Amino acid sequence: MTADDIIMWCRAYISDLLGIPLQSVDPDAPVDDFGFDSSGAVALVLDLETKLGRELDPSILFEHQTLRALANAVVTAAAA
């Protein structure tokens, strides 16, 4: 998956979860802006792991707090 694919998946995930329009999920806004607490952030990472078929550090979303930063970190880690 490319960074853009990951961003789109995360935007759709948040849109579906919160019942908000996809276009209102800004990939450059901190995920906290969407009301995610730590358990919600971990759930997003776990579901992303399932989507990608590989393990991610559960703290990745705390270290990379926007969807764009998260996607770039995931792609960079995969290339290493």
Q: What is the spatial distance between Cα 70 and Cα 66, in angstroms, rounded to a whole number?
A: 6
* Number of folded domains that form the chain: 1
- Domain range for 23 is 3-79
- DSSP notation for 18-75: HT--GGG--TTSBGGGGT--HHHHHHHHHHHHHHHTS---TTHHHHS-BHHHHHHHHH
Q: What is the pLDDT of residues 10-63, one digit of tens each?
A: 999 999 999 999 999 999 999 989 988 888 888 999 999 999 999 998 889 889
DSSP letter at 1 equals -
Question: Whole-model pTM?
Answer: 0.91
CATH number of the domain bearing residue 57: 1.10.1200.10
CB 35 within 8 A of CB 18: yes
